[in-house]
Structure 1
Amino acid sequence: MIEELNKKISDVKEKLRTKQKFESALEQTREALKKQEIRKNELYNILNNEEKDVKNLESLSIMGLFYSILGSKEQQIEKERQEYLAAKLNYDECCSTISILERELCSYEEELKKYSTLNLEYQSLMKQKERLILIDNSIVSHKLISLMDKESDLRLGIGEVREAIKAGENAQDALKNVLKSLESAQGWGQWDIVGGGFLATTAKHSKIDEAKDYLYYAQELLRIFKRELSDVDLPNNIEINIGSFETFADYFFDGLISDWIVQSKIKDSLGKVYIIYDNVKDIINKLDIKHNDLVKELTLTGEKIKLFIEKAN
């Protein structure tokens, strides 16, 4: 009877953990959406200002005349165009993130409707378990139930770690695509320097544009990875640097697109993406260690339960 009841409780606890994850994800998504809305307004103002700067220089304004006399108008226009492009890319990335967050918000709200009666079901099962314990108030019974509870918690913990590992691997794959595109752009850029002409220039810009699209996807997967990590109970001695995930797209665009023709900027952006990639790889390795430890502990706990049942009178 107790084993059957514990199985039911374990199933409900797993559903409760899923419900808590959706609730946590819902709250995190709301907060992220709020921040992105504020960021969108800020970026929109920056974009408008950069656009005005370009138009002012391109027109026959006093400032445009001033730069013409100095012989540096075209250089200044090019600089302003680059700054406008960087602002536009950051603004577009923000709009894309907002759309994704809004869809996620609706999805989580719909999922949570499925778990409306789960808390009551759990409370009912726990009362049944409490009555069984009181009926057979022996040390062996208490110990067995304690081990079964531990086994249930370990299974849930292993599931959480596996989900985090999967999310990390997805982010890692997306970052590989960003790196592949940037490395290709770097190769075309080197050919461009030695006289590759229009073809090399076009191919380089095409690969940079491809890297930008992959980056949007990678940014979203990094956000999911960060959320999954928050569900994992990691030891205090394991340090995980995930703060840089938040501003990944920002410094990518600022470092690359602000002067995307310059070869050194492609190299700089490659270096930054490699840092994030290595960070994700390091976290996955730590999660693998955590997973193996939990599996060993689960096996040991299962053996103890069997031993208790075999020796029970």
Structure 2
Amino acid sequence: MNEKEKQEVREAVEAANIAFEHLENAKSYLDSASRWGIVDIVTAGSLISGISKHRKMSKAEQEMEEAKLALDRFSQKLKDVQGFAPIHVGDFLKFADIFFDGLLVDVLTLSKIDKAKEQCVFAMLQVDEIRYKLLTYSSQKSYYGGETNGK
């Protein structure tokens, strides 16, 4: 593997790390929003729990927007690595655009938060899998002197 190829893999891995971090942050905020949502239901909609829930949801939304941008950059970096197809951001985060529209009922809100968390975890798994393949690819190419099939 030549130096340019190594650099392309490093850049793709770094882009994966950034995307993963935003997804992880979003999931954390969604977890917190979910907990506050339960408190909101139990306390019959207290002001503090409602504000806290919506604050966490707002932060989750910001992280999801950052994750979309980071996943797009990750996809661009994957194009530079031979043998890796770019990812499609829409496949990872279809829910992000509709998740934060019209949250009227607390139970529905919790359901949407849970769905968003599932999608976030799925995206994290996909990014982590591709990141692992990039690192394995890089190691194999280095070990076999540029050949990935061991010849």
SS of aligned partner of 1:215: helix
Asked if the contact 1:256/1:268 (under 8 Å) is kept, the reply is no
Q: 1:259 aligns with which of 103, 109, 118?
A: 103
Task: Kindly indicate whether residue 78 of structure 2 is the aligned counterpart of residue 229 of structure 1.
Answer: yes
Q: State the partner residue of 2:32.
A: 184
Using the aligned pairs only, state the percent identity: 26
Q: State the partner residue of 2:63.
A: 214
Per-residue CA deviation, residues 175-234 of structure 1 (Å, 9 max, x unaligned), is 111111111101111111111611111100000011111122111111110000001112
For normalisation by structure 2, the TM-score amounts to: 0.84
* C-alpha RMSD of the superposition: 2.3
Counterpart AA for 1:265: K
Task: Kindly indicate whether residue 56 of structure 2 is the aligned counterpart of residue 200 of structure 1.
Answer: no
Counterpart AA for 2:116: S
Per-residue CA deviation, residues 130-171 of structure 1 (Å, 9 max, x unaligned), is xxxxxxxxxxxxxxxxxxxxxxx6222122111111110111
In structure 1, C-alpha distance between the alignment counterparts of 2:34 and 2:86, rounded to whole Å: 28
- Change in Cα spacing, 1:248 to 1:296, as seen in structure 2 (3 Å) is closer
In structure 2, C-alpha distance between the alignment counterparts of 1:226 and 1:241, rounded to whole Å: 5
Q: Which runs of 4+ in 1 moved over 6 A?
A: none
**Count of paired positions:** 143
Asked if the contact 1:164/1:229 (under 8 Å) is kept, the reply is yes
SS of aligned partner of 1:233: coil
Asked if the contact 2:34/2:110 (under 8 Å) is kept, the reply is yes
Per-residue CA deviation, residues 217-264 of structure 1 (Å, 9 max, x unaligned), is 1111111100000011127xxxx6822x13655521313433264211
Q: CA deviation at 1:292?
A: 0.5
Which sections of structure 1, spanning at least 5 residues, go unmatched? 1-152, 301-313
Q: State the partner residue of 1:295.
A: 142
SS of aligned partner of 1:253: helix
Asked if the contact 2:75/2:86 (under 8 Å) is kept, the reply is no
Q: Of Structure 1 and Structure 2, which has the larger fraction of its residues in helix?
A: 1
Asked if the contact 2:78/2:86 (under 8 Å) is kept, the reply is no
In structure 1, C-alpha distance between the alignment counterparts of 2:136 and 2:92, rounded to whole Å: 27
Asked if the contact 1:175/1:218 (under 8 Å) is kept, the reply is yes
SS of aligned partner of 2:14: helix
Task: Kindly indicate whether residue 118 of structure 2 is the aligned counterpart of residue 274 of structure 1.
Answer: no
Q: CA deviation at 1:298?
A: 3.6
In structure 2, C-alpha distance between the alignment counterparts of 1:277 and 1:258, rounded to whole Å: 26
In structure 1, C-alpha distance between the alignment counterparts of 2:91 and 2:146, rounded to whole Å: 41
In structure 2, C-alpha distance between the alignment counterparts of 1:287 and 1:207, rounded to whole Å: 33
In structure 1, C-alpha distance between the alignment counterparts of 2:61 and 2:99, rounded to whole Å: 12
Task: Kindly indicate whether residue 3 of structure 2 is the aligned counterpart of residue 158 of structure 1.
Answer: no
